[in-house]
Structure 1
Amino acid sequence: MEARHHEDAPVIRVSAGSGSGRTRLSAFDAALRSAGVANFNLIRLSSVIPPDAEVREVEAVDQLVGRHGDRLFCVYASAHAELPFHQAWAGVAWALADDGSGAGLFVEHEGPSEDQVGHDLTASLEDLIAGRGGGYAEAGRVVTSVTCDTEPVCAVVVAAYLAQGWTA
């Protein structure tokens, strides 16, 4: 069943990025820049998609916009590698309720291989769905990777719910 979306329903934008830097932190920042969310303060959410939401895969240029330092409420996976030829894989997958409400669930995983991240995303979604008695189906996933050459690297996938300033 297709989800019903209201005009003012939230759009959750999912983007991916990767980058390198002289430290793990600067590699993480480079990956966030690549995903289009570097100038936010990330506030990590658990993995519940509200009813009426629309999950949309986007490029970095189409990610949420806001002012420098705004809060970004998001679900994300970030993976690091620091040794030459090692890989960093990050992924986010989601399932939506069968009732068409738009309600759903995100899962996020990171690891050293595509196989591990793919397996973990599938297993977690299956467990979350089973724990709720069923009624959901996988609706999408975004997985990305980067291979370390000489500097630390980071791969991220970010599901951005809401950008919000600090004043009421």
Structure 2
Amino acid sequence: MMVPRKVFFTWGVGVHKDRLASFEAALRSAGIEMLNLVNVSSIFPPNCIEITREEGLKLVKPGEIIYTVMARNDTNEPNRLVSAAVGLAVPEEKNHYGYLSEHHSFGETSLQAGEYAEDLAATMLATTLGIEFDPDTAWQEREQIYKASGKIIKTSHVCTSDKGDPNGRWTTVIAAAIFIM
């Protein structure tokens, strides 16, 4: 079985006249340009330990195939605000899985996009754990309900946003959870 033991979070921004090169620059900014990234869905493995970006980068090798949950957005419209966020929700029960969520948006600040991604992950976990809530209430209210249930121990997010290059070059933003086996 291939179940990740560790995870680290990273983000980056890249700007270039070519869209692909802008993405490469964002990967470089995030410190993960040397990895072969495979996108996976949004399950946070049971007993997976979160480590720092610095610790994680020491554990990977150039060319290694690495699994990621990544949010990515780009624009070549001058000054258009782009965001990419990954949310995390971890259950109290260590042997139960959690959730990651990707969110990419236009016109949202890092805080707005990040909280939205965190809300998505927490809501998916809450429904799995049978926590009752009103989906129409504000995130801050639901966050308190989720944590008060004693079933969700942690929610967080990583996010970046940037304005499109004023000269119309491609601007790419990424946020990623990088799994270590």
- For Structure 1 versus Structure 2, the TM-score category normalised by the shorter chain is 0.7 to 0.9
Uncovered stretches (5+) of structure 1, i.e. residues with no partner: 1-8, 164-168
Alignment: residue pair count: 154
Q: Classify 1:14/1:96 alpha carbon distance in 2 versus 1 (closer, same or farther; 3 Å).
A: same
* 1:67-96 alpha-carbon deviations (Å, 9 max, x no partner): 33x211111111112111112111111011
* More displaced 10-residue stretch of structure 1: 51-60 or 137-146: 51-60
Provide the identity percentage: 25
1:156 aligned residue (154, 162, 174)? 174
Specify the code of the residue in structure 2 equivalent to 1:154: T
Instruction: Return the offset for 1:56.
Output: 3.0
Helix, strand or coil at the partner of 1:128: helix
- The structure that is helix-richer by fraction is 2
The residue correspondences of 1:1-168 to structure 2 (distance < 5 A) are 10-58=5-53, 62=57, 64-68=59-63, 70-101=64-95, 103-112=97-106, 113-114=108-109, 117-118=113-114, 120-132=116-128, 133-134=130-131, 135-149=151-165, 150=167, 151-162=169-180
Aligned CA RMSD, in angstroms, stands at: 2.4
- With normalisation by structure 2, the TM-score equals 0.74
Stretches of structure 2 that go unaligned for 5 or more consecutive residues are 132-150
Q: Which amino acid aligns with 1:125?
A: A
CA distance in 1, matches of 2:68, 2:62: 16
